[in-house]
Amino acid sequence: MNQATWTALDDYITDRFVPADPVLAAALADSAAADLPPHHVAPPQGKLLHLLARLMGARRILELGTLGAYSTIWLARALPPGGRVITLEFSPKHAAVARGNITRAGLDDVIELREGAAIDSLAQLVAEGAEPFDLIFIDADKPNNPAYVRGALQLARPGTLLILDNVVRNGGILDPASDAPGVQGTRDALDLLAAEPRVSATALQTVGSKGWDGFALALVIA
Ligand code: SAH
Ligand code: DHB
Ligand code: MG
């Protein structure tokens, strides 16, 4: 078992279950051409996010960490007419690429990209009295994950699903003394979810083209 096998198997799954899509392909191509880091979810994971959103009948989705809007487009395409994604991105460069990809996808009226630090945008959404979101995908800078979980809980209702990406990091989160960036933040976020009576949570390890990583899922129950 090695990375080449995991990637080949992701390709095998993608061949079967993720139809070739010029809009998503162009979003990845433009992201790569602009030198954005290759941190987008893998195609089978994008489809999983899409299916989870459909399964829930999500109408309002919040995303932290847009990058080139690859996951954003997958999520937006799960919405019924009138649904909305708000996606938060700190980097003006990433936001510019994302805007181009969103426009090409024909999703300008569905996706609202808010530029700035996600901490500030979360506080702004709370201050605005934003309606609760149905699904919140947390995939920005990992050191802030505890603050993102707390912010997400303020914008949730019973029935909201929180999804955190990158909770395994090649096993890195097993090391309580790790100084790798993001490990402490993700460990603290998982501990916070474990101790939070408002959620019922689990986490799943994944392998694939993104290596060995994982998602945490937390259903808000109160
Ligand atoms: N969800 C995307 C990948 C996001 S990568 C996908 O799967 O397609 C993480 C993104 O978080 C990067 O674009 C990075 O610029 C952004 N980011 C980093 N720090 C941030 C912050 N403080 N606030 C908001 N976004 C941030
Ligand atoms: C990184 C961030 C991500 O969101 C991801 O899915 C993969 C890698 C990173 O910062 O290294
Ligand atoms: Mg990620």
170 is written with which tokens?
A: 């090649």
Residue nearest to atom 5 of ligand 2 (CA): 39
* 83 touches 58 (CB < 8 A): yes
Q: What is the pLDDT of residues 146-160, one digit of tens each?
A: 999 999 999 999 999
Q: What is the mean pLDDT of residues 55-59?
A: 98
Query: Which residues line ligand 1 at a C-beta cut-off of 6 Å?
Result: 39-41, 65-67, 70-71, 88-91, 94, 117-118, 139-141
Tell me the mean pLDDT in the region 66-91: 99
Mean pLDDT along residues 76-90: 99
Query: What count of other Cβ atoms lies within 10 Å of the Cβ of residue 202?
Result: 10
Q: Flag whether pLDDT at 1 surpasses 90.
A: no
Which residues 6+ apart lie within 8 Å of 178 measured at CB? 172, 184
Pocket of ligand 2 (CB under 6 A): 39, 139, 165-166
The pair phi, psi for residue 148, each rounded to 5°, is -70, -40
pLDDT of residue 166: 98
* Closest residue by CA, ligand 2 atom 9: 39
Please tell me the pTM assigned to this model.
0.99
pLDDT higher than 80, residue 162: yes
